[in-house]
Chain A
Amino acid sequence: MKKNDLILYAVLLIFGLAAPFVFAAYKVQLSILYVLIVLALTWNIQGGEMGYNTFGNILFYGLGMYLCSSVQVGMFFPLAEWTESGGEKTFVHTPIQFFQGMAVGLLVAAIVPTIIAGLIGYSILGLRGHYFAICTLGLGIAAGEISGGIELIGAGQGFTTPPFPKLGDVELRGEYYYFLCFAVLVATFAFIKWSYTTRFRLVLNAIRDNEDKAEAMGIQTMKYKIVGWMVSAFFCGLIGGIMGGLVGYIDSTDVAFDGREMGVFMVLMAILGGKGTLWGPIIGATLFHVLKEGLWTYLLGWQYVALGILIVVIVIYFPEGLMGWLREKYPERFGEVVDEKDRKAQVELK
């Protein structure tokens, strides 16, 4: 790794570790930002690198959310009664139960969506272009609608997740979720960054640029598509599980399978920052989070009108996002520079 990169990572790591203490008031905000970044980074694997614009990654996020909390509750108490009585009033987790439950719950939250991605991948990833996009949109929203009818996990009233236990006098809920989110973010980023140094990224790009050609050259495209989706499912499920605990309440269509919002936001964040790049989704998620908070604070009541206009503007005028714009303006720093004489040279065959 280049020296500048090492310094950058060190700075970010220090910031991440110190933030909940230095900027204590923004603990939750930062936690949510990390969730958004994970969603944008994983979306980028399909949308940016592979050219498969998915609206369905929310499926894994919501699944992880429900699974983690269901396991956390179900390990110690009858789940049906929990959701019926509205949660913690009748059953209370001891601290050990809470953490044990969450540990197992997160494991399940990460693994089950990954397996599901592997199972349905062959069918769904066989679709292309806008058919894939709309099919995944259907999946995401169907999950929300259907889970909203299942009594066991709360149906209409929703699912109150186990509250963070009282540990003496200290209020540690914020720090706990912050560091969980940060840990997952670091893991996601590290894994994805590493995977991009392997064949994986080039194959995804080849599929994006010309899938028929990739097949004609012998690349087993379906294998890469499915593995990529499984990677996204893993981290989306994991972060979904954490988010369920952080928010404290799971509603099928507004929190878990929020296809209309979160499901689309992950697309926007990656595009805003620059899809097909490593840092684009991170920058995009950060920008988007700040913008959204601004809109929600200052334009409440009109925030979706403003957001809609923003989406239209970004999609039409800045489809390459911020990274794309930076690459155009400062190619030496952000992109690849090609010698003009190479570009203009005639091909000679002697």
Chain B
Amino acid sequence: MDFLIFKAPILMVQASMDGILIGLLFALIAYGMALQWGVMNIINIAQGDLVILGGYIAYFMYKVGIHPALGVIVSPVVMFFVGWGLYKAVINKVVDRDLFISILATFGIAILFQQLMNLIFGADVVVAQSGFGTTMLFDNSVTLPNSKLFSAFICIVYAIGLVIYMRKSKLGRAIRATAQNARAAKILGVDTEKVYASTFGINAALCGVAGALISITFTLHPYVGLPYTVRSFMIVIVAGLGNLPGVAISGMGLGVFEEFADYILGTEFRIGSVFMLLVFILVYRRFKLSRKREYLK
């Protein structure tokens, strides 16, 4: 364990900035998670695996000579159709049912995807080289890979774009109406089938963007999807559904927490501390609500 971090302000700045940049990425994935939870009442355990799949698309582009940064355009398009197809094949049978059924069913999808990716892309840990270089701050003591800055920028662009789309476009408004009251929306002529499929597709697309960014800023591996799922779930329960600024802030908070945990506890405990944070947040919520004699629904 390394507590020297608190004596070294520069390390704290580095960790904080790394945390904020990666946190925006988490927030984007969380936004997708919140979308399908709010609209379709589904918790998608395979969320992280969709992210990784999106990453592999960008990696594939890199292997065939296309610059992986273009993945942030190609990946969401491909993933939208993957999401749409997944909805039509499986998710539509799970939408009207117990939330727990969606957890189990998406878990099945998750392990399916994990092995498929393993078979197609192999079990090696890979990175798509972006060649973006690095930015140095504070007399070269804080290093920020430009890919991370690019990633943060893209996340913000997509987040703002999505908010505008949801406000202004016909589909966006249909989605929001369905989220508020699916039966009423149906009676008023909204094609809820199409809304659900699109929502799931949009979520997959967001995962695709995130994955493409991860492929150039971090590493890809067929079996690292679950932590991304857990992170997005955590952010959603802290921020609440439909609270985009909250999602962004919680995401960045989580990112910073992780970076500090990495420095203090060591990288081998990074993932473990994420899951322990999840437990802690839920238990904290439980006790706070029980004072009001309520419980998390």
Contacts and interface: CB of A to CB of B under 8 A. Distances in A.
A adjacent to B, CB under 8 Å: yes
A53 B113 CA distance: 24
B105 interface: yes
A308 B109 contact: yes
B108 A309 contact: yes
B101 A316 contact: yes
Contact of A146 (B99, B103, B276, B295): B276
Given A134-B43, A142-B279, A304-B114, A310 B99 contact: no
Interface in B272-292: 272, 275-276, 278-279, 282-283, 285-287, 290
Nearest to B106: A312
B112 interface: yes
A280 to B, nearest CB: 16
B272 to A, nearest CB: 3
A133 B107 CA distance: 13
Contacts of B268: 148-149, 155-156
Interface stretch (A16-24, A100-108, A121-129, A239-247): A121-129
A316 B103 contact: no
B64 interface: no
B27 interface: no
B165 interface: no
Contact of B272 (A127, A135, A149): A149
Contact of A127 (B111, B266, B271, B282): B282
Given A305-B115, A310-B108, A311-B104, A130 B276 contact: no
A122 to B, nearest CB: 10
A260 interface: yes
A142 B276 contact: yes
Contact of A53 (B100, B275, B285): B100
Contacts of A303: 115
A145 B297 CA distance: 28
B296 A131 contact: yes
Contacts of B119: 301-302
Contacts of B257: none
A320 to B, nearest CB: 12
Contacts of A124: 279, 283
B108 A308 contact: yes
B167 interface: no
Contacts of B226: 141, 260
Contacts of A264: 107
Interface residues of A, number: 42
A119 interface: no
Contacts of A137: 230
Contact of B275 (A141, A271, A307): A141
Contacts of B5: none
B46 to A, nearest CB: 9
A145 B269 contact: yes
Contact of B90 (A123, A134, A316): A316
B233 interface: yes
A251 to B, nearest CB: 14
B283 A312 contact: no
Interface of B: 43, 90, 93-94, 99-101, 103-105, 107-116, 119, 226, 230, 233, 237, 266, 268-269, 271-272, 275-276, 278-279, 282-283, 285-287, 290, 295-297
8 contacts: A123-B286, A126-B290, A128-B297, A129-B99, A149-B269, A305-B115, A308-B112, A312-B90
Given A123-B283, A139-B279, 12 more contacts: A123-B286, A124-B279, A126-B286, A126-B287, A127-B296, A128-B296, A135-B279, A137-B230, A138-B282, A142-B275, A308-B113, A316-B93
